[in-house]
Chain A
């Protein structure tokens, strides 16, 4: 665009200082638009990005919007490429008003731009936009006319209806079908008449569009409370000569339109021999809300074949109406298992207190599949009387049913049942007793923990102790305070019978408080062997590394072989928690006598990452008994070590490939080598500066802001060699600059090429990235993504000698990283390149 065209517009706005700022913005827009008018894909998109941002801002500024729209209109008139015009139409979609309509209207008949003209016109609210679309209707044909019809339909242009109705008979089937769709969208009696008139003799595909349009018209009638007109349409579709999907659409429409009056039609369809109609109708059962509907549907259950009964029962369950309880209960006694299962499942939603006992009995006596469903339903039953009847039944009746009832009260969280459960926990029947103890573990809270522990001190049978231990642990899981967990157990330990003490000692390992540790240490000296054994096991399982040295001493000095092994295992486990695990593993290896113990230590060493650990495990690569474990540990350590010492890691891995007999481990080692080699060539030496951010600006604005490193004459930019966040192929900028969002970093390096040559620059970034080669912008991609190798590929030319490469990597939110390498244009390795960070 010529600047003089815009000048009068701009001149009007240069009165005050505010106006000066406004004028500046319009001038910037004008400048950017000048660059846009020749845009083609592949050229610099920077001006487009700037225009888009300015348009968004200007669209909300009442004083500037019109002037900005004029500038875009003028640019549209002078644009010389399809890509530029398309872009400008997009901007008019954002900012356009009636002003731009005539200019867009001209494009409606242009095969290359008609869509983009509609893209804007279709969403401009002013009636002039719809009128322009209407005028274009009969100036177009084929696809373009279809597009115009579609846009008029979306705008529900009633004025265009007669013209569109005429096009229903177009010889171009796509135009006729689009017209049918449009009439459905516009709706109303006239549209229905036109559609119905065209339906007879219509082709299959046009008929399908007309049917759909009529159904949409019916929906509009319903929304307008014109139920009779809707019903007439639906009734026509719900006739046997229609295809099944239309019959179902018709039946569904009748259900929506008529409500309870449609119940007989649903029932008739449910009884129909056609499976699809039957299933569809059952699917509509939940749409009728009337109470009577539940009874009507429930009544037909016995008359249906089993497969239909199953679906009807599920639908009754979904209705959740207790009016179906009796029929569903009866179905739970069906001779067909599938019907019984569906009924038991539905009872969970529609059942009452009576159903609760039936479900408990079924859970106690029926097959595994029925038991599972009955239990689930018993848990879900929502009737208010259910909990009361379950509590009453805990200590009476058949033992197997009692077990199920106790299970149910636990699952339902019936806390006020503690008294009944405590009684049941001392019952003569073992199953009842165990289930009651388990339920107590689920239901008691911290204030009742001492009651549970006291109960455990006097078990009806010593075999119940395991159940008490599990129940107590279950309560522990709900009590966050470790000291509250430990207190009742410590108190009980002082007076507990010897038989119960091992359980209490084991329990102390859960809260693992200092007091608990002292008590366990004391138990190591208990005269009773079982108590001592429990203490050793508890110490070796201790959740932190506090007793590590005691375990090491036990492993050295204990005369009990089992205790030596347990202690060593505990010590090795604790080494894994240590900040310096290698030293502990070395000590453990000195004590390990049996091959199994050495394997354990080697397994632990695999989680270390020091050269010392690598050296230790490599010693066992030639030991036939330990080679597999040593090789695996070597691969694991080398895989971590490669970040810091790739050469050492690769040597170790190659040693594994050469020596190990285990094909799987050999392959793992080779995989790591391959991965290391795959990422060879990534540039890891960079000078960096950053982070750059501006308050209130998000990533897109940061991406477009020229910070000092982008300015050739900028002073005071501090470039530093990047040392943190350098991975094996990627650079983690969060590690280098901290976890900031909406900010940029600049990275600089230089590449020496032996000759001028075409190369491929392979970039990956999290998130947006720009690249300059020898000072020229070669790539820009505003994006928000996670880092991956080779996300952006671009062909560039390297000059002979040194080439300066600079990247700008912008973080949106979350991760912030990049990777970069240079390859041959075909992706192959480039020889003789040198890289240095200068």
Chain B
């Protein structure tokens, strides 16, 4: 597993950054050879998907050519957004993502569907040679994440996860901790929602505009309920990991990046037991502990050998972080700009799928410990639960026919 390397401010300033980490890009994208714009399709055009689509439309390097959703009103609204932006009616609207991905003239897809669809659509797109930007939580299960990484690598595609907050919102923490403001970081608290659970919503007649079978896709069958298609699917295990993966991908993603643990995983996950472990506790091989809930800040709190952040006193809460360079987005325009840049240069994005998968796995393991109410031991290299075959069953879920990975 990756060893934690504690980087002091001086280390950072004197030794510079690791050679594998690129500097901020300042080069105009036209220099990358091409007047060719990235042709992009948006799949999953509910609220979040359309939000992402709006960001895409702000990039002159990108031409959105298609949108897709199983809810026709979502699809029509997205098409109208695109057509309004370009002043024409060229954007094509689809119900079935397979029809979009089969188009040879599309370079990249933006996936904004509910979580249970992410892996299948992403892998299908990668297999067709497309680059992928996928909303977080990128995965519903651990095995999905590994399959996404393997497929992205197999085809040499660019695959960015979608947690914009890891850098965008939490870079103050990264600078403070990596800059040595609390000495050696030993503990982190991440305040996000809890795990998902079973869904017993009552049946409601399916409206004509909804392709319910396709919305469910790989998930176990159940009757329609409008909450699920209006973004209310997150509390339910068949479609999402709940708050643990929703804001968890942001919060844990931020904590793990700050601690330099974003390319590995915990070795032990202990659910709350009312005694020694009042909170879900992740233990890493280097002794660092990450807790679900608690802390004293908002979403993130850190404690190290020489202090903690956020500081408790009001004035220090506004403390200016050390002026150090931490590799982050390339290109212009946040996480999506990073993706656009990497599609052009074939570099790895900031939220490369390996890192996104590691964060999501961290969240999934927490969920499994919550669901089964027992501690888990985890091998972050083999990505296996140690000595608990029943718990291992939760690392994957057979998908409803005909859907599968790869």
Contacts and interface: CB of A to CB of B under 8 A. Distances in A.
A464 interface: no
B197 interface: yes
A90 to B, nearest CB: 8
A116 B220 contact: yes
B398 A151 contact: yes
A459 interface: no
Residues of A in contact with B, size category: 35 or more
Given A41-B203, A320-B19, A696-B274, A150 B374 contact: no
Interface stretch (A275-283, A397-405, A423-431, A709-717): A275-283
B243 A785 contact: yes
Residues of B in contact with A, size category: 35 or more
Contacts of B401: 114-115, 143-144, 146-147, 150
A690 interface: no
B372 A56 contact: yes
B398 A244 contact: no
Interface string B188-221: 0001011101101111000000000000000011
B26 A345 contact: yes
B33 A314 contact: no
A331 to B, nearest CB: 13
Interface stretch (B47-55, B150-158, B260-268): B150-158
A90 B221 CA distance: 12
Contacts of A122: 396, 398
B171 interface: no
A308 interface: yes
B3 interface: no
A308 B33 contact: yes
Contacts of B194: 699, 767, 784, 812-813
Nearest to B195: A784
Contact of A154 (B13, B153, B396): B396
Interface string B320-339: 10010100000000000000
B156 A252 contact: yes
Given A52-B198, A283-B156, A784 B374 contact: no
B390 interface: yes
A741 interface: yes
Contact of A115 (B201, B221, B232, B272): B221
Q: With a 10 A CB-CB cut-off, give which of B203, B273, B316, B347 has the most chain A CB atoms.
A: B347
Interface string A306-318: 1110110010011
Q: With a 10 A CB-CB cut-off, give which of A56, A59, A212, A308 has the most chain B CB atoms.
A: A212
B22 interface: yes
B154 A307 contact: no
Given A311-B32, A814-B191, A697 B346 contact: no
A377 B393 CA distance: 49
Interface string B1-42: 000000001100111111110111111101111101000000
Contact of A379 (B25, B129, B325): B325
A786 B23 contact: no
A311 B293 contact: no
A279 B33 contact: yes
Interface of A: 40-42, 45, 48-49, 52, 56-57, 59-60, 83, 86, 90, 93-95, 112, 114-116, 118-119, 121-125, 143-144, 146-147, 150-151, 153-154, 174, 178, 181, 184-185, 208, 212, 215-216, 219, 243-246, 248-249, 251-253, 275, 278-280, 282-284, 286, 305-308, 310-311, 314, 317-321, 338, 341-342, 345, 348-350, 369, 372-373, 376-377, 379-382, 387, 411-414, 477, 480, 695-700, 741-742, 767, 781-786, 791, 812-814
24 contacts: A41-B202, A42-B202, A95-B390, A119-B397, A143-B401, A150-B399, A153-B404, A154-B396, A181-B406, A212-B406, A219-B150, A249-B155, A252-B156, A275-B34, A279-B33, A308-B33, A314-B22, A318-B19, A411-B323, A413-B14, A414-B13, A414-B14, A742-B272, A813-B294
3 smallest A-B Cβ distances: which pairs?
A320-B19, A245-B129, A307-B33
